[in-house]
Structure 1
Amino acid sequence: MNAYYSALSGWLIPITRAMKSFDIDPVETLEIFGISPSEVNDPEGRVCVQSMGNVFAYCNNKVGNRVFNIEVAKSFHPSVLHALGYAVQSAYSLQEAMERVAQYKRVVSNCCNMYAFEEGEDDFVADFEVYRYSDSGRQVLTPHMIEAFLATLVKLSRDIVGRDFKPIKIQYNFDSLGLGDNCDVVAEFFDCPIEYNCERNAVVMDREIARSQAFGSNPVMNQLHLDVLNKFMCRVDKTNLSYQIENRIVEELPLGAPSQSDVAKQLGLSLRNLQRKLSDQGTCYKDILESTRKRLTMNYIKQPHLSISEIGYLVGFSNVANFNRAFRRWQGCAPGEYRHRYLSSNSLIET
């Protein structure tokens, strides 16, 4: 039996807006495919991906030439992604924003993985791996949905770094017949080569552009949004223990780094059970503690009103020397040096 694949109901907002732009009745159309129109107003609701795929097929058939996919992207606003959208808007750079989408992909849907990484000397890639149905091997998302999502990533990139942003190329792991005829609107929107029959679905962009400081960069707000996002993830993805542990760590760090035994007790688990569950997820408590400390530190270091010693305290280090050693391990330099470079340059990038 195939798993139940769903997507955040917020996706219905750009989809219904696109419908209206083509005089397609949203309420009638959603009801045809078993989606309650009230789902549009539920910020934490989930919608069956197969039903959503049927909506895309129906609307593309009415409009033709893939134009509907692009209109969905043009109608997108980051707020439809709940707290993830706000965390993306306040990220330091496009690279960090894409890494956030990849990290919290379960907010978007449970039918894909996304990887954000540097490739070669010049490229930064947002690689979109779509799961496949176990019985047929067919991708869970239809080609039209995949195109709409990649177009949404491009729209999001333009919101972050400027409207003149254009990718190096778009790649699809299916042939063009899966989308129908080529379309001038699609070509004009992406404004870059579109490649088919590739090994991946991806947006390839210039690494230096991805690294540059974004217009909406705000480390204070970004930290608040990430805290809300982690709490949201604890509700929507109860199977992922990492989010629950990270929340506990964030709450306890100013009083010192909590022990693995303390966190297990707070979560109602034995130490052995917690270790086993984390091992099943391919991680361990030490890695979660380290990544949480680093994430918090890299937000705090960009806030000039916090002293280096205060930051060390906030991320659970008992003295500045231990914090300095950890920071050198993360960034290869002292925290004071990193902050000086950050404040004097808009192009400093985290590694």
Structure 2
Amino acid sequence: MNAYYSTLSGWIIPVTRAMKSLDIDPIETLVKFGIDPAEVNDPEGRICVESLGNLFSYCNKRVGHRQFNIEVARNFHPSALHALGYTVQSAYSLKEALERVSQYKRVVSNCSNMLTYESGNELIVELDVYRYTDSGRFVLSSDLIESFLATLVQLSRELVGGDLNPIRIQLTYEELADCPDVDAHFQCPVEFGCERNAVVLELDQANERAFGNNPIINQAHLEILDQFMTRVDKTNLTYLIENKILEELPLGAPSQAVVAKHLGLSLRNLQRKLAEQGTCYKDILDCTRKRLTLSYIRQPHMSISEIGYLVGFSNVANFNRAFRRWENCAPGEYRQNYLTGNALVEHLHPKVS
């Protein structure tokens, strides 16, 4: 059993609900596949993903077709994803929410990487599934991949108020038999034999302000997520650096040397490790500042100068220059558009210089 690959125990909730709706005994079935039903009581518990994949296969055989994959997605609630679920629900837009899922994918499982990126007028949410080192087979079964993508679609619809259909779904495995439940759920072409597993969405719709947007709640849950990540993934250097930056920013942006010393690394060693991960300290600092700034700027009780101070800028002029680089507009303009509900045209369609 490859117990190293696991997923959050919160998945037990939609899984058991799906089994009940399809007249499958949930407790008996969970135990049959070595999954302790009591794990659902531990919000940070983990379950073996191979056992979960075998359970999905069993349930699909019981009901026929791949109905169980979709039924799990239909019974999904964001609370199953620990603090990540609440962060997603309070995000500014669907795009930001999906970017958070990608950023904190490790909360959900250690079986894959998730990438959210733009391509023309499309937003791509790609699931890059890992392989077992001994056999080379994918860690996630086709059932789990299909169900996860179906869950992303379900989540996306909830965030935008229900009126959303993807442009297309792309799957790497070979074409499967038609399944009415799959087609009815996705409401778009499903392409097999592709180079990636992905949900493709309309970028403009993904950029629209979400109904549940609440910057104060969002910031609080992001802080909980950062703390959670340092507990579950002590080897992830980026999370450790981000946490130190967040701790020091009100006193000024910490130097790379200060962060290296805090982590017990030499400056050269820190630079080497970050280069191996395809990043650098400057990029991590900039992304952390931007993320925090966009959260603060949406909170009208905070002044622009106060925000600049909290994200480590020595004066307002430097903060304004950085903000224009990030969002192609001044902080006050961004806030005014946000508060009045106007579309941030410059933000969504930046000018090409």
TM bin, normalised by shorter chain, reads over 0.9
Query: CA separation in 2, counterparts of 1:189 and 1:81?
Result: 21
**Equivalent residue runs for 1:31-180 within 5 Å:** 31-120=31-120, 122-177=121-176
Residues 2 and 48 of structure 2 are in contact (CA less than 8 Å); yes or no, is this contact kept in structure 1? Answer: no
Match of 1:261 in 2: 257
Match of 2:340 in 1: 344
Match of 1:232 in 2: 228
Alignment RMSD: 1.8
Residues 111 and 131 of structure 1 are in contact (CA less than 8 Å); yes or no, is this contact kept in structure 2? Answer: yes
Residues 212 and 346 of structure 1 are in contact (CA less than 8 Å); yes or no, is this contact kept in structure 2? Answer: no
- Give the C-alpha shift of residue 211 in structure 1: 0.7
Structure 2, unpaired ranges of 5+: 349-353
Amino acid paired to 1:213:
R
The C-alpha deviation readout for 1:158-184, integer Å capped at 9, x for no partner, is: 11001221111111111223xxx3121
Residues 14 and 73 of structure 1 are in contact (CA less than 8 Å); yes or no, is this contact kept in structure 2? Answer: yes
Residues 213 and 346 of structure 1 are in contact (CA less than 8 Å); yes or no, is this contact kept in structure 2? Answer: no
> Are 2:344 and 1:310 equivalent residues in the alignment?
no
- Give the C-alpha shift of residue 3 in structure 1: 8.5
The C-alpha deviation readout for 1:214-253, integer Å capped at 9, x for no partner, is: 0001111111111111111111111101112211211221
The C-alpha deviation readout for 1:105-139, integer Å capped at 9, x for no partner, is: 1111111111111222x221111111122343322
Residues 2 and 50 of structure 2 are in contact (CA less than 8 Å); yes or no, is this contact kept in structure 1? Answer: no
Q: Give the percent of matched residue pairs that are identical in Structure 1 and Structure 2.
A: 68
Residues 3 and 49 of structure 2 are in contact (CA less than 8 Å); yes or no, is this contact kept in structure 1? Answer: no
The C-alpha deviation readout for 1:248-269, integer Å capped at 9, x for no partner, is: 2112211211222322333333
Structure 1, unpaired ranges of 5+: none
Segment drifting more, 323-332 vs 305-314: 323-332
Match of 1:6 in 2: 6
Residues 246 and 288 of structure 1 are in contact (CA less than 8 Å); yes or no, is this contact kept in structure 2? Answer: yes
Match of 1:285 in 2: 281
- Give the C-alpha shift of residue 2 in structure 1: 7.3
Amino acid paired to 1:90:
S
1:279 counterpart SS class: helix
- Give the C-alpha shift of residue 297 in structure 1: 0.6
Segment drifting more, 165-174 vs 269-278: 269-278
1:47 counterpart SS class: strand
- Give the C-alpha shift of residue 346 in structure 1: 4.1
Amino acid paired to 2:125:
A
Segment drifting more, 240-249 vs 134-143: 134-143
Match of 1:207 in 2: 203
Residues 2 and 135 of structure 1 are in contact (CA less than 8 Å); yes or no, is this contact kept in structure 2? Answer: no
- Give the C-alpha shift of residue 338 in structure 1: 2.2
Query: CA separation in 1, counterparts of 2:90 and 2:342?
Result: 15
Match of 2:351 in 1: none
Segment drifting more, 258-267 vs 53-62: 258-267
Query: CA separation in 2, counterparts of 1:202 and 1:254?
Result: 39
Report the TM-score, using the length of structure 2 for normalisation: 0.93
Query: CA separation in 2, counterparts of 1:347 and 1:123?
Result: 18
> Are 2:18 and 1:18 equivalent residues in the alignment?
yes
2:133 counterpart SS class: coil
Report the TM-score, using the length of structure 1 for normalisation: 0.94
- Give the C-alpha shift of residue 74 in structure 1: 0.8
- Give the C-alpha shift of residue 31 in structure 1: 1.7
**Equivalent residue runs for 1:311-326 within 5 Å:** 311-326=307-322
1:205 counterpart SS class: strand
Query: CA separation in 2, counterparts of 1:118 and 1:242?
Result: 23
Query: CA separation in 1, counterparts of 2:343 and 2:188?
Result: 25
Query: CA separation in 1, counterparts of 2:145 and 2:193?
Result: 14
Query: CA separation in 2, counterparts of 1:283 and 1:63?
Result: 47
1:79 counterpart SS class: helix
Query: CA separation in 1, counterparts of 2:97 and 2:344?
Result: 15
The C-alpha deviation readout for 1:22-74, integer Å capped at 9, x for no partner, is: 22222221222222222122111121111111111111111111111111001
1:117 counterpart SS class: strand
